[in-house]
Amino acid sequence: MAIILDGKAVAAQVKADLAERVQRLRAHGVVPGLGTVLVGEDAGSVKYVAGKHKDCEEIGIASIRHDLPADTTQEELLDVVDVLNADPACTGYIVQLPLPQGIDANAVIDAIDPAKDADGMHPFNLGELVLHTSGPLTTPLPCTPRGVIELLDHYGVDLHGKEVCVLGRGITIGRTIGLMLTRREVDATVTLCHTGTRDVASHIRSADVVVAAVGKAGFVAPEDVKPGAVLVDVGVSRVYDDQTGRMRIRGDVDHGCYDVAGAYTPNPGGVGPMTRAMLLRNVVEAAERWAGLA
């Protein structure tokens, strides 16, 4: 039987630890605050942001919300970024992606104070990750890769010397998880596959761990999985369910792979909760650094 890597359960433990750390901060007169900037009313983004603020309420982090209309200009959005950069009540914040057409997302991310970059995606913070191949890091880390590694570590999945196949080169995980997996504390060997990769299936079949983040439902097929491999399903697709007549979430890993795998993350309920938990950790850690408690 494959081990189910339960992101909900592990995220709950992370949040319990963070709640204690938040109490410690409050005892020193510091209240961590998470800011969110949401432009427009994309259904997925609205739900995700609401979940983040619910998490904050659970562990005692203050919520700072900026919900803007879809026709917000780039200049207006950058003004809000400036407000959060200067707000002492905000110890970390995110600008929810995707942004409406016409707004340069990279320019917006560049404008975020790196010390308040709750997503760990500012060029300065990514540069620090590139430069430091070992040892402690004192800058925010990308949430999804960090959540994946935390989840695998919790279940005792040893990545040292393992062959990891990453599917997808998006900035959220595909381009960033390799930086974390190849640090000396982890020491995995990473192959990154993308739309230009020839014979992706052969790379999947040789991998001890597969991190799927392409956003194509069922992309990883059972016949392409090495027996006993660990499958990390990050992709999210909405597909029509003939039985219910409704749209539902499907991951990149076909459910038939579970009979071949040694361990797998359910989707939903695997990587998603861990990503949210790591966002909270970045906010708390930023507050601890500010308070001199880190």
Task: List, for residues 194-252, the tens digit of each pLDDT value.
Answer: 999 999 999 999 999 999 999 999 999 999 999 999 999 999 898 888 888 888 889 99
Find all residues with CB under 8 Å of 38, minimum gap 6, and list them: 45, 46, 49, 65, 66, 67, 68, 96
For residue 58, give the DSSP letter: H
User: What pLDDT sits at residue 249?
Assistant: 85
Annotated binding site: 168-170, 236
Q: What is the CATH number of domain 30-115?
A: 3.40.50.10860
Active-site residue, from 52, 116, 162, 226: 52
User: What pLDDT sits at residue 151?
Assistant: 98
Pairing between β-strand 237-241 and β-strand 246-250 as defined by DSSP bridges: antiparallel
Q: Which residues of the chain have pLDDT under 70?
A: none
Q: Cα 26–52–86 angle (5° rounding)?
A: 60
Residue 49 structure tokens = 């942001």
Domain ranges within the chain, ordered by starting residue: 30-115, 143-272
Residue 13 annotated among the catalytic residues of the structure: no
Provide the 10 A C-beta neighbour count for residue 195: 8
Domain spanning 143-272: CATH 3.20.20.70: no
Active-site residue, from 55, 116, 117, 119: 119
Run of H or E residues at 273: helix 271-291
* SS3 of the chain: helix, strand, coil, percent, to 5: 40, 20, 40
Find all residues with CB under 8 Å of 161, minimum gap 6, and list them: 187, 188, 189
User: What pLDDT sits at residue 213?
Assistant: 98
Helices (H) and strands (E) counted in the chain, each on its own, are 9, 11
Residue 15 annotated among the catalytic residues of the structure: no
User: What pLDDT sits at residue 294?
Assistant: 81
Annotated binding site for NADP(+): 168-170, 236
Residue 119 annotated among the catalytic residues of the structure: yes
Active-site residue, from 15, 55, 96, 208: 96
Whether 143-272 and 30-115 are alike in CATH topology: the answer is yes
